[in-house]
Amino acid sequence: MSSVTADHVPASQGHDDHDHMPHGWRRWLFATNHKDIGTMYLIFSFTMLLEGGVLALLLRTELFEPGLQFFQPELFNQFTTMHGLIMIFGAIMPAFVGFANWMIPMQIGASDMAFARMNNFSFWLLPIGGLLMTVSFFVPGGANAAGWTMYAPLSLQMGPGMDFTIFAVHILGASSIMGAINIIVTVLNMRAPGMTLMKMPLFCWTWLITAYLLIAIMPVLAAAVTMLLTDRHFGTSFFNAAAGGDPVLYQHVFWFFGHPEVYVMILPAFGIVSSVVPAFSRKLLFGYASMVYATAAIAILSFLVWAHHMFATGMPVTGQLYFMYATMLISIPTGVKVFNWVATMWRGALTFETPMLFAIGFIFVFTIGGFTGLIVAVAPIDIAVHDTYYIIAHFHYVMVAGSLFGMYAGAYYWMPKWTGRMYSEKLGKLHFWSSMISFNITFFPMHFLGLAGMPRRYADYAAQFTDFNQIATIGAFWFGLSQLIFLYAILRCYAGHGKPAPAKPWEGATGLEWTVPSPAPHHTFVVPPIVK
């Protein structure tokens, strides 16, 4: 088999097309092909995105006016919790694993992922976990209403829905660990001859680092929810203050997972944007090596700042100072990345196809989210705005406009490779502008709500907050409906509409495909000779 990246393989030609490949439902149930498994991850994650989105729209419906219109506070909080958990564990993380499955073997010249059957198993755990979370709404007492963080002691008082959530988190965590092991082994052991680590596309680098993060943090989450489980059912008192436990201990253990988890959800998007921006700027990525080191620095620092989520717990001032300054330090490698993306575009011959629009949109909104993160890193400010809508606005700018826009950039960029068809540029641009405008209408007013003191997770609010809440609700419905444009654009491609994709879909548009023109500088992938 030739040791080349998929950039030199026509869209119609697979890496591992076997005559004996199973057909029909068997093809999907027993899938070991990285492309099929990647497709299943992406379909599952989009389904979960729609489910989590519906829950979000139910929340916004209730918040359109002050007073209780539709849902009692208990059910409202169940929606809040499950929206968060479904979006994180069901939508964002599986989507990026789907991207990894599809693209990493092709980008490094591997025939498939390292552990094909484990790849299959790690996918099929996901629908089970997603089902458990969804079914928890229908058990006595309803779903977990303790927030996606599952804070003790509240989570110790919840009904059986909490146990469903704990079980689901265990299953989804196991899936993530297996996916991470697979990615690490694939990247370290299966690169084509001549493909050194510092010649890999940035997407492979960001996922390699993300995979190490996952292996480090998922067992910590498992420990936290297992202690929760034993406190609930087996008489232990890790977090029960009345029996000598400490609820703040739960927060420490949870956020030691929770903060690196934020970077698990954003680093792969960095990799996608680092692939898209050079292609549509017709230039090599500025500062490849510094991008790699910045990604590693972000990952390492993410382990050292967990308690900035806990400024309101009454930690000593020296502790607050440490976590404040350590948090601010992360802005340096993040700033390096933003600078490099802008420098790549600087004096480039830019064109604004849909992937580039989403990549630039990502840089813009992610930078806003980064700045508000810097603001809440200041302990006195954080204590004032903690648990208000300012925090909601901050992390949605990072997660929705960050992770989600990064995914859309990658989906439109690689869609010709995945489907063999070119998507409709009109639909893509409509999707981008509709999403970008509606997203900002939804979440920007939340900064003002938070600064004015509106707490999160409340089904009711004072009348002074009405106007901004109504603007946010209108924006949210607009944003939600905008995602159906994306669904339509994809289904058109899969149904065979649109022009057939050439072997190098963007060559006509950009002159630069997923590889770079020769002669290449030392840090870009030169195609190795064919090995018999």
Instruction: Give ∠ CA 36-37-38 in degrees, rounded to 5.
Output: 90
What is the Cα–Cα distance from 399 to 393, expressed in whole angstroms? 10
Question: What's phi and psi for 519, nearest 5 deg?
Answer: -75, 135
Query: What letter does residue 149 receive in the DSSP assignment?
Result: T
Q: Which of 295, 260, 259 is nearest to 274 (CA)?
A: 295
Task: Return d(Cα 345, Cα 431) in angstroms, integer.
Answer: 23
One-letter amino acid of 26: R
The region, left, alpha or beta by phi > 0 then psi within -120 to 50, assigned to residue 496 is left
Any idea what the Cα angle at residue 202 is, between residues 197 and 204, rounded to 5°?
A: 65
255 contact partners, CB below 8 Å, separation of at least 6:
306, 307, 309, 310
- Return the residue matching tokens 């506070």: 73
CB 357 within 8 A of CB 427: no
Q: Which residues are catalytic?
A: 83, 112, 148, 175-176, 259, 261, 263, 274, 308-309, 334, 337, 456
Residue 221 parent element (H or E): helix 202-233
24: how many CB neighbours lie within 10 A of its CB? 7
Residue type, 220: V
Please report how many Cα atoms fall inside a 13 Å half-sphere around the Cα of residue 382, on the Cβ side.
Answer: 22
* Bridge partner residues of 6 (DSSP): none
Q: Which residue do the tokens 């990615």 mark?
A: 183
Q: What six digits make up the tokens of 82?
A: 């499950």
Cross-strand pairs, 421: 500
Contact 411, 483 (CB under 8 A): no
Cross-strand partners of 500: 421
CA angle 392, 126, 411 (to 5 degrees): 65
Tell me how far the alpha carbon of residue 203 is from its chain's centroid.
14
* Residues 399, 96: Cα–Cα separation, whole Å: 13
